[in-house]
Structure 1
Amino acid sequence: MDVSIIETSGLGDRSYLISAGDIGAVVDPQRDIDRVLKLAAERGVRITHVLETHIHNDYVTGGLELSRAVNAEYVVPAGDDLGYQRRAVVDGDIVDTGAFRFQVMHTPGHTHHHVSYVLRDPDDTAAGVFTGGSMLFGTTGRTDLVGGEHTDELTHAQYHSVRRLAEELPAETKVYPTHGFGSFCAATPASGDESTIGRERTSNPALTQDEQAYVDELLAGLAAYPAYYAHMGVINRAGPAPVDLSMPERVDPDELRRRIDAGEWVVDLRERTAFAAGHLGGTLGFELSGSFVTYLGWLYTWGAPLTLIGESEEQVLDARRELVRIGIDDLDGAAVGEIHTLVAGTELRSYRVADFSELARRRDEQQITVLDVRQANEFDESHIDGAANIALHELAGRLGEVPEGEVWVHCASGYRSSIAASMIDAPERSVVLVNDEFDRARKLGLTG
């Protein structure tokens, strides 16, 4: 048997293609199923089964469309009221592909009906377990995504689910989680790139702590998660529409300016320092890199008109692929080309880019404001003396709290602060983007 990993680094998730001979099965596929189909073709396998560990909160599933495209059996945990036909499985069920089998284990915690799939070879050996949002590498899935009133119950359930996996499976069983590679679905940051049941027995807090200590620590560590999560479960229960990865309609400079002036969402995909050096006033800078879809999805006004600005069609298409993964399907167009060709008679705006070394030289000046846009738990752990803290996801509703004058904006790496800088950039403010790692601020003695 072979287990191939399909990474979706922008969301911190993994999907899996399991194959033996010419038979394949897929666990927790993302929306852009062309990646799965291409890999299956390369492996020379026919996908007979598509399995979901849970109804996902952080992305729109590709499972329904994939199962229909290849005429595979669609396997989903029982218990949820869904708008489509599927095989609803419960604890103890067996999903037999003919070449290998999956044993269903009910592992509630991340959701009420969450299951894990134990991969068994023809000799009935447990070769691996697909744990979704249950047992992750050195941590577990968060337990607060289906409503605060369920969090305590699900946290206790998560503890027992992970313990059950560790007790019933051999130490050498490989662990294949869906979440935990930067995903906000992890309760705490995951560690490592691979693991086994044996390794988790010595490192996973659900297996090294008593129940109450685990529950208390998990609940205390839960931080804010992206606002778009509220839409994902709804879409996945109804049944996602087939994906559209085509190029949006092109928008000329005059129409682009009209949309900006109308206050519509117009997002510039260029690198953060290129945006700072010259951009159309009224646009927002969301650099198309690892965190793009998480933070655009978090801040975006759901359902609002959205236009993209890209240096090339390829850049726009890459952004569209990222966006459909969280259910932002309807793009109102895209403007493509060098930014100076899109001005439509207006002047480009710009602001400075600096690092923490320069801030250290300016820190005692009374006329500057340091704005930290990290989350409150990050700020509480360590921050620059005298800095104001408004988390990026709260900034749109608190812009009035940002002083006029010179504002130096920072986060942990420069990505979130680049978005924030584009949001507060205005004629009455002088914005400086601190494009630097926060560890540098610590080394320079800027933190208290």
Structure 2
Amino acid sequence: MKVEQIYTGCLAEAAYYIESEGEAVIIDPLREVDPYIQKAERNGAKIKYILETHFHADFVSGHIELGKKTGATIVFGPTAKPGYEAYIAKDGEDLKVGKVILRVLHTPGHTMESTTYLLIDEHGKEHAIFTGDTLFIGDVGRPDLVQKVKAEITPEYLAGQLYDSLRNKIMPLSDDVIVYPGHGAGSACGKNMSKETVDTLGHQKQFNYALRADMGKDEFIRAVTEGLVEPPQYFPYNVLMNVQGGIPSIEDVIKSGTRPLDASAFQLVWEHEGALVIDTRSKEVFPGEFITGSIFVGLDDNFAPWVGALITDLKLPVLLVTDEGREEEAVIRLSRVGYDNTIGYLKGGLKAWKEAGFNTDRIEEISAEDFAKLYKGNMGLHLLDARKESEYRSQHIQGAENFPLDFINKNMSMLDKDKKYFIHCAGGYRSMITCSILKARGFNNIVNIQGGFKALSATDLPKTEFAVQETML
């Protein structure tokens, strides 16, 4: 028996490869499916099942394309109603794979169709659970992401379902059962996930707040529903894609998105299509010079989730500025969250753009040390903290105003274009995105603070923190 976690850090997503006696299973595959096929071929195995733990909101699954390419059966748990051919398994049903069994455990709560798969090894021992978004390491799945198809399916109702699922289906299992979750820290599908991506169930019973043995249902419901921030706006669209099907082939998306355009063609397509230009270079390089009107979202961080959180129209044409050779990576990562309308990239990069005589811009930056000197001499300066509210509440520079990047589109009207703003986040990535968006919207008096709160914390600037609340789990 072979079990492999395939973790994609930029999405904080875990897919799984399980193999026994020449038969294989893929759980929650990403959209680019060839790596799974190649892995099975290298091992001389045939993919028999593609198991989906639920209809995902944070990424577009590759289950349909993987099924087409391999002939494997797509499996969902009870109550799922996909718009394409799939096998809807019964609660408690056993799926045989080589000499092992994957037992279907219906665990509603994150969604109504959420299902955990219990792996029973060739000796009949319960070996591991693949929990999807039902149980994470240190947390559980949030109960507020389901599309409101029925009035009674509220976050509180789902939280109650989740409580029952955990107590009746998961917690009775042996302490040595391995927990393989669908996500790790950084995912928006939970509140307080650990950086670890695997653990034993016994350890989780000790340290995961949601598995506390003496926790009543009402307390559990309060704990998992309080303190939730609004989910990324692209989540409902990804759910619909995963439910309805009809998803374009990844090969077609890559072909369109990696079309090389010289500077003149790039400019023409930009104007004609009303496209968005995303500059994916590093946060260190971008502010020195970039195409006027472009938006920074660097590849070397949570690229796709931030595009999903900020760009409200999945059908909006996208043009890319990338480091040489990273065009396909950018297109694939956009497609993982449903942005399939990339229509080309700037051939020759910024150098070609400048040589063609087109306009560029820059963003002013200041070191944390220099800002500290400036700020102490003038506490009336406008300081924006682009971190999440929970980060801001934990600790922030005295006098800073919380301006979370997550809600920049909603809150931008609060800013005054005539004022000068100094902007920071935790380490510089989110503040640079914030600066680029503001620049593109006509805010010219903005300064990025290099190194973010981490660097500012090393100065002697006064800090403020709120008392930690029970809801901040």
Query: Shorter-chain TM-score category?
Result: over 0.9
Question: Aligned with 1:17: secondary structure?
Answer: strand
Give the Cα separation in 1 of the matches to 2:370 and 2:415. 21
Give the residue type in structure 1 aligned to 2:406.
Answer: H
1:31 paired residue number = 31
Aligned counterpart in structure 1 of residue 224 of structure 2, from 204, 212, 218? 218
CA apart distance, 1:437: 4.4
The 8 Å contact of residues 367 and 406 in structure 1, kept in 2 or not, is answered as no
Give the Cα separation in 1 of the matches to 2:154 and 2:122. 39
Aligned counterpart in structure 1 of residue 368 of structure 2, from 337, 342, 356? 356
Which deviations, in whole Å up to 9, do the C-alpha atoms of 1:326-361 show, x marking residues without a partner?
111121211132413213323421123334322211
Distance 1:136 1:288, change over 3 A: same
Give the residue type in structure 2 aligned to 1:350.
Answer: R
The 8 Å contact of residues 270 and 319 in structure 2, kept in 1 or not, is answered as no
- Which segment is superposed worse, 142-151 or 426-435? 426-435
Give the Cα separation in 2 of the matches to 1:200 and 1:311. 42
2:357 paired residue number = 345
Give the Cα separation in 2 of the matches to 1:163 and 1:217. 16
2:428 paired residue number = 414
Which deviations, in whole Å up to 9, do the C-alpha atoms of 1:104-145 show, x marking residues without a partner?
111111101111000112332111111001111121111110
CA apart distance, 1:237: 0.8
Give the Cα separation in 2 of the matches to 1:224 and 1:9. 22
- The answer to whether residue 381 in structure 2 is matched with residue 375 in structure 1 is no
- Which segment is superposed worse, 237-246 or 23-32? 237-246
1:161 paired residue number = 165
Give the Cα separation in 2 of the matches to 1:288 and 1:206. 34
Aligned counterpart in structure 1 of residue 342 of structure 2, from 331, 344, 354? 331
- The answer to whether residue 55 in structure 2 is matched with residue 55 in structure 1 is yes
- Which segment is superposed worse, 66-75 or 207-216? 207-216
Give the Cα separation in 2 of the matches to 1:390 and 1:354. 19
Question: Aligned with 1:118: secondary structure?
Answer: strand
The 8 Å contact of residues 177 and 201 in structure 2, kept in 1 or not, is answered as yes
Please give the root-mean-square deviation of Cα atoms over the aligned residues, in Å.
Answer: 2.1
TM-score (norm 2): 0.89
CA apart distance, 1:405: 4.2
Which deviations, in whole Å up to 9, do the C-alpha atoms of 1:124-171 show, x marking residues without a partner?
211111100111112111111015752001112222222234433111
1:242 paired residue number = 249
Give the residue type in structure 2 aligned to 1:123.
Answer: H
* Structure 1 residues not aligned, in runs of 5+: none
1:402 paired residue number = 415
Which deviations, in whole Å up to 9, do the C-alpha atoms of 1:370-423 show, x marking residues without a partner?
111222333233222222222213223433432334321111221111111111
Aligned counterpart in structure 1 of residue 262 of structure 2, from 252, 267, 270? 252
Distance 1:165 1:443, change over 3 A: farther
- Which segment is superposed worse, 145-154 or 323-332? 145-154
Aligned length: 447
- The answer to whether residue 451 in structure 2 is matched with residue 436 in structure 1 is yes
Aligned counterpart in structure 2 of residue 199 of structure 1, from 203, 219, 222? 203
TM-score (norm 1): 0.94
- Which segment is superposed worse, 90-99 or 353-362? 353-362
Give the residue type in structure 1 aligned to 2:436.
Answer: S
Which deviations, in whole Å up to 9, do the C-alpha atoms of 1:71-130 show, x marking residues without a partner?
111111232332111110121111112321111111111101111000112332111111
- The answer to whether residue 285 in structure 2 is matched with residue 269 in structure 1 is no
